[in-house]
Amino acid sequence: MEHQVFSLEAKQGWRMIECKNRHLLADPEKKGICMNGVMYYIAKISDELSKSLISFNLRSEDFNVIKFPKDVKYLWSCYLVNYNGKIALTNDSCNDGTLDLWVMKDASKQEWSKASLLVPCWTNLVGDQRFRFKGTFSTGELIFAPCTFPNPYFEYYDLKGKNARKLVIEGIGDDLVSFKVFMDHVESPMFLPKVCLSDND
């Protein structure tokens, strides 16, 4: 229930920050999204049963609670994606048909808009396989990853040109159990000091 940040300035180190809404990550396996200097992630507020979207401003170090749209179905399975440079919420695994997204228009006003995208059938490319929407590239292409393994591949779909293409990843071994997709990832590793929560850690 405590929150800390690690400063990358001259005086590096962990320090406590205040959060008015005590919360925990709803699902540590579901990654958050950082966009325009703000980190977004799904969390459970301690005094509420439902989930909420939390935003953390990296500059001001302020937390804000953003309520989900009321018409979202199966909120327990929702996850965040980057949809054309905006935060979007979806819960659909997709093979063909309609993909529903709730796109955040204005975080300060708690405004969302619903978008329904018509996606094609992939049967001629990959057979009977279900996919999960992962987001969009800067080109506007939609990226889909299979819901099951072990074959690591992706489907790209251009809404304007209505063209689909398959990308297969090779050379990562045959015993792959799972893989995760990170959009527009730029690697910048560094070692951080361990956080001591108690004398026994």
Domain positions in the chain are 1-67, 75-182
**CA atoms within a 13 Å half-sphere pointing along the CA-CB vector of 47:** 4
> Quick one: pLDDT at residue 162?
81
> Quick one: pLDDT at residue 4?
87
Residue 104: φ, ψ to 5°:
-80, 115
Q: State pLDDT tens for residues 14-27.
A: 889 988 888 888 77
Q: Which residue has the tokens 């969390």?
A: 43
Lowest mean pLDDT among 34-38, 46-50, 141-145: 46-50
Q: State pLDDT tens for residues 149-193.
A: 656 778 888 888 888 888 887 776 666 666 666 666 667 777 776
Is the pLDDT at 200 greater than 60, yes or no? no
> Quick one: pLDDT at residue 51?
80
**pLDDT-derived band of residue 125, with 50, 70 and 90 as boundaries?**
low
pTM across the whole model? 0.76
